[in-house]
Chains A and B, each alone.
Chain A
Amino acid sequence: MSSTVALSHAKLPRWAPALVGVVSLAAAGLPAMLLGWGLFAWLVASVLLFLAALPGWSLVVEGRRSAVDRLMTGLVWSAFGVAVLPLVWLIYVVVDQGAQAINGEFLTYSMRGVIGDEQGGVYHALIGTVFITLAATVVSVPIGILTAVYLVEYGGRSKLARWITFLVDVMTGIPSIVAGLFALALVVLIFGPAFRMGFGGSIALSLLMIPTVVRSAEEMFRLVPMDLREASYALGVPKWRTILKVVVPTAIGGVITGIVLAISRVIGETAPLLVVAGATDGVNFNLFDGRMTTLPVFIYSQYAQSTPAGYQRAWGGALVLIAIVMLLNLIARLLGKLLAPKKA
């Protein structure tokens, strides 16, 4: 009798993972009910049980290699599940706690003269956030876009262009507190050691914002088809007008999306503003003189008070801040869709 080599081996049925899943949930549910575990402990126990049971079954039926494969599949899926947990929990807590703090007074009053358990609000911090972030945007957008133009249209493969690309990437990793210290050193050197101003915060934020703007604008300019530029050159249009009238308008949707995302990144920065713009209880409309509180700094200083009222206000501020950040993200996405070049 000639024996034949089997070309296929035993496999678990397609519904095996689902079955093991249900069984693990049930099996972990029994001690969970008897010992009064929480929902969290029950889920953890079921996942562990699943990770042991399915590879175990597979080991018996399919062999070692498949068992390892199934174990890894299970681990990869649970890694994803575990990572989503903190995000969901954090957002739930912020919304739950923040909603209790927010009302009309909270949004329209500053903290001037607020003592003890009086309500107080974030008005001054909102003003500070808007002013400082806008100033940072005004500084970084022209520099960022012009640099992107240089990299795509003029730099080519020159040494300078390659160094700029590289250092811009490196800059994205600068700790924000270092940007704050730089702005502080600058302000202190020019105006003296005790001077603080909101614009110092804008300088620090621009340092953090410019790399993001450059990278997104550069990417968008590179997507503009060469044909469009060549068609423009063929009509005798000079290069700079081609860039302004053809390249930039074509890419504008992506560029604006990138800018809004960059704003949403820096609007939550705390450390640099804490160091250079300081904190104050009152409203300050002057970017160039005096301390200016922003929303993140407000949250931090309320938290640092360690009183129930302080925590309450910190959560309220956190909800407002998260809402602003998410809104900016949403706007960025919408603008990206609306301003995208029409496809023929």
Chain B
Amino acid sequence: MTATLNPPEAERSEKPASRRGDRIFAGLARGAGLTILLALAAVFIFLFVEGWNGLNAEEATYRPATDFLGYIGPLILSTILAAIIALIVAVPFAIGIALFISHYAPRRLATPVAYVIDLLAAVPSVVFGLWGGRYLADLLQPVHVWLHDRLGFLPFFGPDPASPNGRSLFTAGIVLAIMILPIITAISREVFAQTPRLHEEAALALGATRWEMIRYAVFPYARSGMVSGVMLGLGRALGETMAVAMVLAVTPVATLNVIGTASPATIASNIALNYKEATPSRQSLLIATGLVLFAVTFAINFFARWIVGRNERKQAKA
């Protein structure tokens, strides 16, 4: 009798000691997780507290505009234009490369290619800016002239003359395209590779060519993943700072022309270019524009991740 009763008793007597260690450790781990949530909330709160004064300061603060909307309007326009150029250029290439890695390349080639694309993500943005400003701008200058001559009737390529040194929003958009290529490629590649093997083989067995198989089996399956990859790329393009700050010649006058001599800065690059003006009111103005940028990119990332998560949940159920 005693022999059978003893072990549970012994266990009970040891439990409190081990439990205390467990409680402390579990508390630490949970605390770290909560710290991250707190940090995220703190970003919002601090930007809000410091930026609040920037929303309705004296008129002189907003020079050359007179109020907050007038100040941030041209910046928003430039930010969106640069991001659109980046997406138009990057998305076809990113999806092509993702397909290359997941479906076209011989296996021996696929891994190194994926590695090279990741390497592109490892290059610091300031180096991209340096290269964009010193080399790419020169290379693309004739393209500016060509676009202006052929398509000058569009508001994006005229009527002002083309940039003489190529340091335009167009060049900045191309640099951004190169920088967001890796993230879009990585996400698309992942969803392409997840296409059920049976769907692909069924399509091939029905006599589809490889492209038809991709069009009718892979793309429908991967559509939402591709959308979220593009949105993550958009988030990057909106928030990228140095490359734009170093490539773009800046003027505060709003213009749709992306190949002209100068455009307004983007929100992010405007902050980097003006941080030195440390008058407190000007500083809060910059922080306020940063708050706007944060809110927009947060919303875009939130939505993109939500799509990815919904997809994963759907697959887990199936």
A321-B128 Cα distance, complex, nearest whole Å: 12
Query: In this assembly, does B119 line the interface, its C-beta being within 8 Å of a C-beta of chain A?
Result: yes
Most chain-A Cβ atoms within 10 A of its Cβ — which of B31, B117, B268? B268
Determine if A205 is an interface residue (Cβ-Cβ < 8 Å). Answer: no
A193 with B280: CB separation less than 8 A: yes
A264 in contact with B49 (CB, 8 Å): no
The docked-state distance in angstroms from the alpha carbon of A221 to that of B24 is 20
Closest-CB distance, A78 to chain B (whole angstroms): 8
Given contacts A90-B131, A164-B36, contact A175 B241 (CB under 8 A): yes
Which of chain A's residues has its CB closest to B121's CB?
A265
A205 to chain B, nearest CB (A): 13
A115 adjacent to chain B (CB < 8 Å): no
Roughly how many angstroms separate A154 CA and B40 CA in the complex, as a whole number? Answer: 22
Q: Give Cα distance in the complex from A75 to B214, angstroms.
A: 14
List chain B residues, Cβ under 8 A from A166: 305-306, 309
- From residue 88 to 105 of chain B, which have CB atoms closer than 8 A to chain A? 92-93, 96-97, 99-100, 104-105
Task: Decide yes or no whether A161 CB sits under 8 A from chain B.
Answer: yes
- Looking at the complex, which of A65-73, A99-107, A249-257, A282-290 is the stretch in contact with chain B? A65-73
Cβ < 8 Å to A, chain B residues 13-62: 14, 18-19, 21-22, 24-26, 28-37, 39-40, 42-43, 46-47, 49-51
Q: How far is the CB of A54 from chain B (nearest CB, A)?
A: 14
Flag if B241 contacts A271 (CB, 8 Å).
yes
Residues on A with beta carbons closer than 8 Å to the beta carbon of B133: 303
- Which residues of B lie under 8 Å from residue A142 when comparing CB positions? 32
Among A12-20, A24-32, A180-188, A222-230, which stretch is in contact with chain B?
A180-188
B259 interface residue (CB < 8 Å to A): no
| A18 nearest CB across to chain B (Å) | 15
Which residues from chain A contact B19 at a C-beta distance below 8 Å?
Answer: 238
**What does DSSP make chain B's interface, helix, strand, loop or mixed?**
helix
Question: Of A150, A182, A268, A303, which one neighbours B124 at CB under 8 angstroms?
Answer: A268
Interface hit among B63-71, B150-158, B194-202, B232-240:
B232-240
A185 and B45 CA atoms in complex are apart in Å by: 10
Interface centre among A69, A155, A178, A311, by most chain B C-beta atoms within 10 angstroms, is A178
Residues of A within 8 A of B309 (CB): 166
Q: A73-B210, A76-B104, A274-B272 given as contacts; is B242 within 8 A of A300 (CB)?
A: yes
* Contact status A193-B239, CB under 8 Å: no
* B262 at the A interface (CB under 8 A): no
B149 part of interface (Cβ distance < 8 Å): no
Residue of A nearest to B26 (CB): A154
Q: A194–B305 contact, CB under 8 A? A: no
> Is A80 on the interface with B (CB-CB < 8 A)?
yes
Q: Choose the segment among A43-51, A116-124, A322-330, A336-344 that binds chain B (4+ C-beta atoms closer than 8 Å).
A: A322-330
Q: B259-307: which have CB < 8 Å to A? A: 268, 271-272, 275, 278, 280, 283, 286-287, 290, 293-294, 297-298, 300-302, 304-306
Whether A68 contacts B209 in the complex (CB less than 8 A), given A94-B131, A173-B232, comes out as yes
Q: Which residues of B contact A268 (CB under 8 A)?
A: 122-127
Which chain B residues border A239 with CB–CB below 8 Å? 22, 25-26
A168 touches B36 (CB 8 A): yes
Inter-chain contact A90/B29, CB cutoff 8 Å: no
Cross-chain contact of A275 among B26, B40, B210, B275 (Cβ < 8 A): B275
* Residue of B whose beta carbon sits closest to that of A272: B241
- Tell me which residues from 153 to 182 in chain A have a Cβ below 8 Å from any Cβ of chain B: 153-155, 160-161, 163-164, 166-179, 181-182
Q: Evaluate contact between B298 and A170: CB separation under 8 angstroms.
A: yes
Q: How far is the CA of A344 from the CA of B305 in the complex (A)?
A: 38
Among B99, B113, B127, which residue has its beta carbon within 8 angstroms of that of A94?
B127
**A-side contacts of B240, CB under 8 Å:** 175
B309's nearest neighbour on chain A, judged by CB, is A166
Task: Identify A185's interface contact among B31, B49, B241, CB under 8 A.
Answer: B49
Q: B15's closest neighbor in chain A, by CB? A: A238
Structural contact, A174 and B92, CB atoms closer than 8 A: no
| B117: chain A residues within 8 A (beta carbon) | 83
Q: Are B127 and A178 in contact (CB under 8 A)?
A: no
**Residues from chain B with Cβ under 8 Å of A89 in the complex:** 131, 135
- Docked Cα-Cα span, A168 to B301, in Å, equals 11
A315 at the interface (CB under 8 A from B): yes
Q: Could you say which residues of chain A place their CB within 8 Å of the CB of B253?
A: none
Q: Name the A residues within 8 Å of B297 (CB-CB).
A: 173-175, 178
In the complex, per-residue mask of B182-220: 1 if CB is within 8 Å of any chain A CB, else 0? 000000000000000000000000000111101000000
Question: Are A153 and B29 in touch, CB under 8 angstroms?
Answer: yes
Question: Does A197 interact with chain B (Cβ within 8 Å)?
Answer: no
Residues of B within 8 A of A146 (CB): 28-29, 31-33
Known: A90-B128, A151-B33, A168-B36. A182 touches B46 (CB 8 A): yes
**Complex alpha-carbon distance, A207 and B40, angstroms:** 9
- A–B Cβ pairs within 8 angstroms, 21 of them: A65-B209, A65-B212, A69-B209, A80-B113, A83-B120, A143-B32, A146-B33, A160-B30, A164-B37, A167-B40, A169-B305, A170-B302, A178-B297, A181-B271, A182-B42, A185-B287, A188-B283, A240-B21, A268-B122, A269-B125, A270-B124
| Seed contacts A147-B32, A270-B125, A271-B125; 17 additional CB < 8 Å A-B pairs | A80-B113, A143-B35, A150-B26, A150-B30, A164-B37, A175-B268, A178-B293, A184-B287, A185-B50, A189-B49, A210-B36, A214-B36, A240-B21, A270-B272, A299-B130, A300-B245, A322-B124
**Which A residues lie at the B interface, using CB under 8 A?**
65-66, 68-69, 72-73, 75-80, 82-84, 86-87, 89-90, 93-94, 142-147, 149-151, 153-155, 160-161, 163-164, 166-179, 181-182, 184-186, 188-189, 193-194, 207, 210, 214, 236, 238-241, 243, 264-265, 267-271, 274-275, 296, 299-300, 303, 311, 314-315, 318, 321-322, 325-326, 329
